[in-house]
Amino acid sequence: MSTIAESARIHPMAVVEDGATIGEGVKIGPFCHVGSHVILHANVELLSHAVVTGRTVIGKGTRIFPMAVVGGDPQSVHHGGEETTLTVGANCTIREGVTMNTGTADFGGQTIVGDNNLFLANSHVAHDCRVGNHVIMSNNVMLAGHVVIEDRVILGGGSAVHQFTRVGRHAFVGGLSAVSYDVIPYGMLNGNPGLLSGLNVVGMTRAGVDRAVIHRVRRAYKSIFEGTGSVRENAAAIREEYADCEPVVHILDFIAADSDRALSSPTRGQKG
C-alpha cells in the first residue's frame, strides 16, 4: 500500500503504483509514472512524462523534467534482475531525457548521486556510479559504469567517461572530451583522446581559493608532471613540502589511491 502525504499533489493522469512513498509537498505532473518501490522525499517535483522506477530514493527538493527515466535497470549483460538501488540526493535538477540506472549486484548494487547537482538534457549516469555534490553534467554527457565523480566537477557537453574512471574534485572536462584515464582534482582535461591541459584556475577562483594557494598548486602540478621521475614518484617526493596546502594534498592523495585506471597527463594517449 502506498504512503502518500496529505500535502502531495498528484495529477489524476499520473500513475503512482501501490507501495510508493510520497512525501510532504511532492508534486507529480500528468503522465508521470512512479514505481512501487520508489521513495520521493519532501518537495520533490516531477514534471509531465517523468518516470521514476526501481528501488529508487529521490532527495528533498529535487526536480525531474519530462522524459527523464530515473531508476531503470542497469545496462549490463551481467544484470540478472537483482533488486539493486539508486539514491539521488537533495536539490538536484534532472533535465529532459536524463537517464540514471540502479547498481549491479556484483559491485554492491548501489548507484549513488549526491546533493545540489545539475544534470542537463540527455545526460546519463550508469550503474554503480558515485557522483558527489554540486556537480554539473552538461547536455549529452555519458558516464559509463563504476565512474566516480567528486564534488564540484563540471563536465562539458558531449563528453564521455570510461568505466571505472575517477574525476577529482573541482576538475573541468571540456566538451566532447573522451575521459579514458583518471583526472586529478583541480585538473582541466580536453580533447579526444583527453589530455590534461593544466589546472581549472577559473573554478578554483570561483570556489574562493586564494591566489597565493593557486600559485602553489601550479608549482606542485609542474613538479608532478614535469619532474624526472614517474608521476607517482614525483608526487610522493613533494608531499612533505606541500603538507600545509590542502588542494595539493587532495591531488597527492588522489594520485596515491588505488585505481583501476591510469592517470591522465599532458601526454598520455597523445598520438605520435
- Answer whether 70's CB lies under 8 Å from 58's CB: yes
**Grid coordinates standing for 260?**
583501476
3 state SS of 136: strand
> How many CB atoms are closer than 10 A to CB 84?
24
Catalytic residue among 114, 115, 128, 250: 128
Active site residue 127: yes
DSSP three-state, residue 119: strand
- Range 109-138 burial, b when 16+ CB lie within 10 A, else e: bbbbbbbbbbbbbbbbbbbbbbbbbbbbbb
Q: Which residue has the cell 533488486?
A: 83
Q: Is 182 a catalytic residue?
A: no
CA distance 192 to 112: 28
Q: Could you tell me which of 73, 75, 2, 82 has the C-alpha nearest to residue 34?
A: 2
Q: Of 109, 114, 115, 127, which one is the catalytic site residue?
A: 127
SS3 of residue 236 by DSSP: helix
Q: Which of 29, 97, 109, 145 is catalytic?
A: 145
The three three-digit cell numbers of residue 58, written as one number: 529521490
Catalytic residue list contains 54: no
Catalytic residues: 127-128, 145
